[in-house]
Amino acid sequence: MNAMNQPPSRALFVVGTDTGVGKTVVSMLLLRELFARGERPFYAKPMQTGCKTPYDTDSDAAFVYRHVPELAGRDPAEAVGWCFAAPKAPLHAARDEMRGVETEDLVRSLACLRSEHASLVLEGAGGLMVPLTPEALCIDCIRAADARPVLVARAGLGTVNHTLLSVEALVRRGMEPAGIVFVHTKERSASPDLVRDNMEAVAMLSGFPVSGVVPPIENLLHPPDAAFAPLRRMLDVLDGTTMPD
């Protein structure tokens, strides 16, 4: 809370080093943590591909709405800007349906979201450099939304390269990650030593510490406390209640 005992105004943009790294799970955990802190965050997925409607099984918005108790009963379609069926980059998925998105419309929608919601969690599509329109990449949406990027990466082998490249892309555009979060899944297991080495390498070579590692979650409706720890640490640093490591 700030000096007036009001929740801070913030926009966080959950982006990934690649597709399938755990952005949607991190978005869900972040929303739940923000609600627990007394905020009323709005979740938005500006572009969704790989599903025909926001209600499909593979819809990120539908997943988030199912697993955030405060969103129960609400319509996930309110969170989705554009939805395309093909599991491709939005630029090409939209082209397949002859529904090209104008960059100006995308930028306008992001600016509107930012102005309408004091607490906002946006989720990108794929990695940072995925094309959304002929002129705009996913990374460009962060600035358009006046948001801070939350960079999500795999915990295991290969993550140092992908994470450092992603941080470099952000810094080149004048942005710093609000936090870097590793996601550790049963499907992509890694030894504790490897994860620890990856965290050390990323922090040392990028200058930005890893907020922590989200462990495998058996029950997504009831995540363990350890799953929220990286998000709590990141938010505490952002709110100035603790210092970065």
Active site residues: 45
Q: What are phi and psi of 23, to 5 degrees?
A: -60, -40
Is 22 marked as binding a ligand?
A: yes
Rounded Cα–Cα distance for residues 50 and 178 (Å): 28
Give the residue ranges of DSSP H helices in the chain. 23-36, 60-67, 90-96, 103-116, 138-144, 159-172, 192-206, 225-238
Is 72 marked as binding a ligand?
A: no
Is 101 marked as binding a ligand?
A: no
Return the C-alpha torsion angle 213, 216, 218, 221, nearest 10: 40
Is 90 marked as binding a ligand?
A: no
Which residue, 163, 194, 173, is CA-closest to 18? 163
Is 202 marked as binding a ligand?
A: no
Strands 80-84 and 42-49 come out as parallel
Is 184 marked as binding a ligand?
A: yes
Is 245 marked as binding a ligand?
A: no
Rounded Cα–Cα distance for residues 224 and 229 (Å): 9
Is 217 marked as binding a ligand?
A: yes
For residue 49, list its beta bridge partners: 84
- 3-state class of 179 per DSSP? strand
Is 126 marked as binding a ligand?
A: yes
Is 25 marked as binding a ligand?
A: yes
Is 21 marked as binding a ligand?
A: yes
Is 214 marked as binding a ligand?
A: no
Is 46 marked as binding a ligand?
A: no
The CA-atom distances, in angstroms, between 59 and each of 84, 100, 129, 155, 173 are: 10, 20, 21, 24, 30
Element housing 214 (H / E): strand 210-214
Is 124 marked as binding a ligand?
A: yes
- CA atoms within 13 A of residue 111's CA, in its CB half-sphere: 7
Binding residues for Mg(2+): 24, 60, 123
Binding residues for substrate: 49
Binding residues: 20-25, 49, 60, 123-126, 183-184, 215-217
